[in-house]
Every structure is written in structure tokens, then in C-alpha cells.
Homo-oligomer: A and B are copies of this chain.
Amino acid sequence: MKIAVDAMGGDNAPQAIIAGVERARDQYPDLEFQLFGDPAKVKPLIKNSERLTLLATTEEITMGEEPVRAIRRKKDSSIVRAARAVKEGSADAFFSAGNTGAVLAAGIFIVGRIKGIDRPGLTSILPITQPGAARQSFVYLDTGANAESKERNLVQYGYLGKFYAENVLGVANPRIALLNNGAEEDKGDQLHKAVWQQLNAAADLNFVGNIESGDLLVGKADVVVSDGWTANAALKATEGTAKMMLILIKDGILTGGLRAKLGYLLLKPVFHQIGKKMSASTYGGAVLLGLKAPVVKTHGSSDATAVANTISQIRTMLSSGVIEKTVDFFGRQAVVDKQAKNE
């Protein structure tokens, strides 16, 4: 399995990228890497070049750049070159910690969509934090690839999420829920009411109904489907509040005198556990599902551990054959749709 790596993207690049890649390489003998980047910056960081190929690029897409324009103009950037390696078949997957919009655009316009998928969905794995829950995480999409969605897109997310949960997380018959503004069947705007009906009618989906954003972490579903706008708002609010709660605790300890500091020392393992549970890097990167190959974007602030975790996730995607199964399903769907049209 060959992974094309954007060595230049992210706040801690190329250091954290190279360190994470080397760690993953040492752990998984079946992985090979193509590192796209500036040799002057990347080469001195490589400790051991076993199964690493460095491919020189001359351009960089920075965090603030307008994505679509950037990938059109900067043909020799690490993002465009790595995506092209996947397109041309010399690599099996694309990894980046860089400009999210540019990675998504490179995924859609260079790697390409699976036939039958209209809009790929950005997919995150989120923690289930309810004590005693049967599972530890769930699949959540679209977290923001598309600000405006149609009925058809959300139904496709149901299938994309199902295949991902089955193959990458190993969940049998995953429970699919729809993010909505109430739990009952008749809740939501026209779009969400219509999607409810379609998901509910799909015999091959284990649809468990609506879920509200306040229950995301409770573990009522293995896959939560949403339009990109709403999922993005709920995800950012969830992350922001978790971060804020930890800030509040820290502030309370700092201003609470010796008593609070002693309490903190005793509760340190508990806080450490919660911090890990709520940390995005525990769950790997965001995958743009619906493309012909894994295109995975990890957080810009990722350290070497987060990079290595995300590469492990890509390896699972490749070895499970989740993309092939998805291609196969939507290919058969297209045949059924065509037959239905002709009849």
C-alpha cells in the first residue's frame, strides 16, 4: 500500500509529518510512502529512508488561500502533486494536514468522485462519551464539505457512512441516524422530513430515526448523517464547548488556591482521560468519503502521534477494501436506476 503524503501542510510541517510517517512506517511493514515537498526542508528531517520516496515540489498552498484557484494555479504544489499521484495510480491514498479547502478540491477535481456519488461528504469519527456505552465512537458526515445539500446527497451519506462503519470501525449492521431538530418522525424542514422518509424506506439501512445535536455523544447511533451546514455547526459547538469546559476547570484550579491545586493533582488521571477522550487526534483524520481513493485530512495542529494515527486509519481503509465495496454498490445502484428509467 502506497500513501502519497503532503509533507508541507500543517502548522508543524514538515517536522511532525515526517516524524509521524516514520513512526507509521516502522509500525506497518506493508506501507510505503511518497513524500511531496521541498527537498531542502524535508530531506534533513528524514532519519531513515526505508520505504520513503521523496518527490521534489516547488510550490506550497498556504492556509489562507482560496482553494479552487490555488489547486488550479499551483500545479507543482505538494497538495496537487500528491493528489495527482493517486489519480495516476502510482499511490493508493492521499494524506494532508494542510489547507482543508484545497485538500477537498484536490480530492474532488483530481482524485475524482465514485460513479453515482453527487457530492462527497467530509467524515469524522467522533467519541461516544456516555459511560457504559457499547461502542466508543461513531461516524459523522457531512461535517462541512457542502454548505447546501439535497435529499439525494443525505441518503448517499447514509450508505457511505454504513460502509465506513462496517469496514473501518468493524460495526456489524450499523445504526444510522439523521441529525435533526427533534427526535420525532415529523420534525425538521422539508429537506429533513423527506430524507427521514427515504432513509426509513431503505431496506438495506438500519435506520434508527432522528437524533438531536445534544445527543451526539450519547451513543444512540453508529452513523449520524447530516447536511454539511448543520453538522458543521453542531461539531464546532461540541468541540468549542469541550475545550471551554477544560478552560473553565483550569481557570478554577489556577484561581482556587492551594486546595484546588491539590484537588487537581489527585484528579489529574481523570482529566487526562477526559482530555484524550475528547481530543480529535485520538480518532484520526477527516475522510472525504465518496472519492475513488482515500483522501484524508488531519488537523492543521497535528503532532507526530496524530499523523501516525491518521496513517493507521488510511491503512485500515485500504486493507478493508471499503472504497471497492462502495464503488461496487453505487455501480449496481446506477444500473438499477438506469433500468428503472428505461422501463
Q: How large is the interface on A (under 10, 10 to 19, 20 to 34, 35 or more residues)?
A: 35 or more
Task: Decide: A267 and B241 in contact? CB cutoff 8 A.
Answer: no
Q: Does A316 contact B (CB under 8 A)?
A: no
Q: Are A267 and B270 in contact (CB under 8 A)?
A: no
Q: Assess the B229–A217 pair: CB atoms within 8 A.
A: no
Interface: A335 (CB within 8 A): no
**Given A263-B264, A270-B263: A217 in contact with B244 (beta carbons within 8 A):** yes
Interface of chain A residues 71 through 130 with chain B (CB within 8 A): 129-130
- Whether the pair B265, A263 counts as a contact (CB closer than 8 A) is yes
Are the C-beta atoms of A236 and B256 separated by less than 8 Å?
no
Identical copies of this chain, number: 2
A181 touching B232 in the complex, CB below 8 Å, given contacts A131-B251, A188-B147, A270-B256: yes
CA distance A147 to B188 in the complex (A): 7
- Cβ of A144 and Cβ of B181 under 8 Å apart? yes
- Within the complex, the shortest CB–CB distance from A165 to chain B, in Å, comes to 21
Q: Which residues of B contact A320 (CB under 8 A)?
A: none
B213 touches A248 (CB 8 A): no
CB-CB nearest in chain B for A189: B147
Is B147 a contact partner of A181 (Cβ separation < 8 A)? yes
How far does the alpha carbon of A302 sit from the alpha carbon of B25 in the complex, in Å?
56
Q: Please provide the 5 A-B residue pairs with the shortest distance between their CB atoms, ordered closest to farther.
A: A263-B266, A214-B240, A252-B270, A263-B267, A214-B236
Additional A-B contact list (14), CB under 8 Å, known A252-B270, A260-B266, A263-B264: A130-B247, A217-B241, A217-B244, A230-B230, A230-B233, A237-B238, A237-B241, A238-B240, A238-B241, A252-B273, A256-B269, A259-B266, A262-B266, A263-B266
Contact sample, A vs B, 26 pairs, CB 8 Å cutoff: A129-B244, A129-B248, A130-B244, A130-B247, A131-B251, A181-B233, A213-B233, A215-B240, A216-B237, A217-B241, A218-B244, A229-B230, A230-B230, A234-B237, A237-B241, A238-B241, A241-B245, A245-B278, A252-B269, A252-B274, A256-B269, A260-B266, A260-B269, A260-B270, A262-B263, A263-B264
